[in-house]
Structure 1
Amino acid sequence: MPRLLQHRLDPSSRLARLMFAEYGVGIDLEDIKPWRREPGLLEINPAATVPILAEEGEPPVVGTLAVLHAIEDRYVPAAVAGLFPSHAALRNEMWRLLEWVLVKLNDEVTRYVLEEKIVKRDQRGMTPEPGVLRVAKANLGEHLHYFNWLFATRHWIAGDTMTLADFALAAHLSSLDYLGDVQWDTSPETRQWYARIKSRPAFRTLLNDRVAGMPAAAGYADLDF
């Protein structure tokens, strides 16, 4: 059985888990705190990032894009369409928006929220910086304006077919939603899309997550939120 080294609120780890769940593949999860830079982690990945995919008899797969490709290459069931579109135009739009989420949204919002609320909480003497969280919240509002515009004209983020970009955005928003940082009342189009993807069976793996000492925000696990 595949083993995934992850942190429960790390969006890239959540994206990998969504892919496995969508494809009906069971996995073993190993929770780690990558910011502690434990020797065992650094031996596998000197960058000290997750997710990392491990399988018996295979070298570890390190890095978000490498893990995503490995899952798509190895585990797509024959009877299920994969999350990488076959049509070139849709595939290009998927990659554009996937990069938007994994790079732009992460660099302007998610990584700051997780660092302030999760990483600093785990480090003695560290406290969240309100100014950083205010900027991240303002940046999230700008991103949601763009996503609202996209969902006003599309059924899924890249077009009429669900793709990996949808799961990537859902992974990030689910992490932020767990911490209570998404203002759904000002994002009706994105909220409608999130309600649809949140209702997929694959999403149960995330809605059952809980972080010790940090309960989920109200509505996190509710399909009608």
Structure 2
Amino acid sequence: MPTLLHHPLDPSSRLARLMLAEYGVPVELEEIKPWLREADFLEINPAATLPILVDEKGGQAVGCLAVLHMIEDLYAPTSIDGLMPTDAAQRAEMWRLFEWVNAKLNDEVTRYVLEEKIAKRDTRGATPEPSVLRAAKTNLAEHMLYFNWLLATREWLSGEVMTLADFALAAHLSSLDYTGDIDWGKAGETRDWYSRIKSRPAFRTLLNDRVVAMPPHKGYADLDF
């Protein structure tokens, strides 16, 4: 059984878990708080980022893209379509939106929310900075408008089939949903899309996640919000 070093609310870790679950791969989870920069963790990844996947033979993939490609290479079933399209144009659109989510959305929204609300809990005397959270909320509203427009014009985020881009966005929104930073009443088409993807069996492990002394926002685990 492979082992995944992760943090429950780290979106890249969540993406890897969703992909493994979608492909029916059981995995042992080892929780890491990367912001603590513990020596054993830094020996594996000096960049102090997650996730890290260790396969059954001891091989390691470090970082989001390396982990996703390891999962695709080792575990993608032949009986169903994978999450990376074989068509070049479809794959290009998937990677465009994957980068939008994992880079732009993360850098403008998710990273700040998790730093302020999660990581600072391990720093004595630190409290969330309201101005940072306000900026993240404003940025999120702009991103949601774009996602709403996309999902009003296509079945899934990058086209007519579900891809890794959908799981990437679901991973980020599920983390932000846990912390109570999404107003689903104003989410439009994105809410409908999220309801569909949230209902997939692969999502069940995420909905059971709990952070110590920080319960999820109301409705986080409800399939009907």
Judge same fold: TM > 0.5, yes or no.
yes
Q: Is the 8 A contact 1:44 1:60 kept in 2?
A: no
Distance apart, 1:55 and its partner CA: 2.3
Residues 50-59 or 161-170, more deviating:
50-59
Deviation string 1:34-91 (CA, Å, 9 cap, x unpaired) is 1000111000000011100012433321010000000011001120111000111111
Q: Distance in 2 between matches of 1:25 and 1:55?
A: 11
Partner of 1:199: 199
Structure 1 segments of 4+ aligned residues over 4 angstroms from their partners: none
What's the CA shift string for 1:70-125, capped at 9, x where partnerless?
Answer: 00110011201110001111111000000000000000000000000000011111
- Equivalent in the alignment of 1:44: 44
CA contact 1:93–1:158 (8 Å) conserved in 2: yes
State the 1:202 CA deviation. 0.3
Give me the TM-score of the superposition, normalised by structure 1: 0.99
Q: What residue in structure 2 maps to residue 163 of structure 1?
A: 163
Q: Residue 123 in 1 paired to residue 116 in 2?
A: no
> What CA deviation, in whole Å up to 9, does each residue of 1:179-218 have, x standing for no partner?
0001111111000000000000000010010111000000
Q: Secondary structure of 2:176's partner?
A: helix
* Map of 2:87 onto structure 1: 87
Q: CA RMSD in A?
A: 0.7
3-state SS in 2 of match to 1:221: coil
2:220 corresponds in structure 1 to 220
Other-structure match for 2:148:
148
Q: Is the 8 A contact 1:151 1:193 kept in 2?
A: yes
Separation (CA, whole Å) in 1 of partners of 2:60 and 2:196: 33
Secondary structure at the aligned position of 2:113 is classed as helix
Alignment match, 1:15: 15
CA distance in 2: counterparts of 1:62 and 1:186, whole angstroms? 37
Residue 134 (structure 1) shift: 0.1
* Distance in 2, Cα, partners of 1:177 & 1:197: 14
CA distance in 1, matches of 2:55, 2:64: 16
Alignment correspondent of 1:65: 65
The size of the alignment, in residue pairs, is 225
Q: Distance in 2 between matches of 1:59 and 1:208?
A: 28
Which range is displaced more, 89-98 or 49-58? 49-58
Partner Cα distance (2:175, 2:103) in 1:
16
Q: Which runs of 5+ in 1 are unaligned?
A: none
Distance 1:55 1:204 in 2: 23
- The separation in 2 between residues aligned to 1:213 and 1:8, in whole angstroms, is 14
Question: What is the percent sequence identity of the aligned residues?
Answer: 71
Which AA in structure 1 matches 2:220?
Y
| Matching residue's letter, 2:143 | H
SS at match of 2:4: strand
163-172 vs 57-66, which deviates more?
Answer: 57-66
Q: Within 1, Cα distance between the matches of 2:85 and 2:60? A: 26
Query: Hey, what's the Cα distance between the residues in 2 that align with 1:97 and 1:25?
Result: 25
Aligned match of 1:181: 181
**Alpha-carbon deviation of 1:135?**
0.1
Structure 2 partner of 1:78? 78
Whole-Å separation in 2 of the counterparts to 1:152 and 1:47: 38
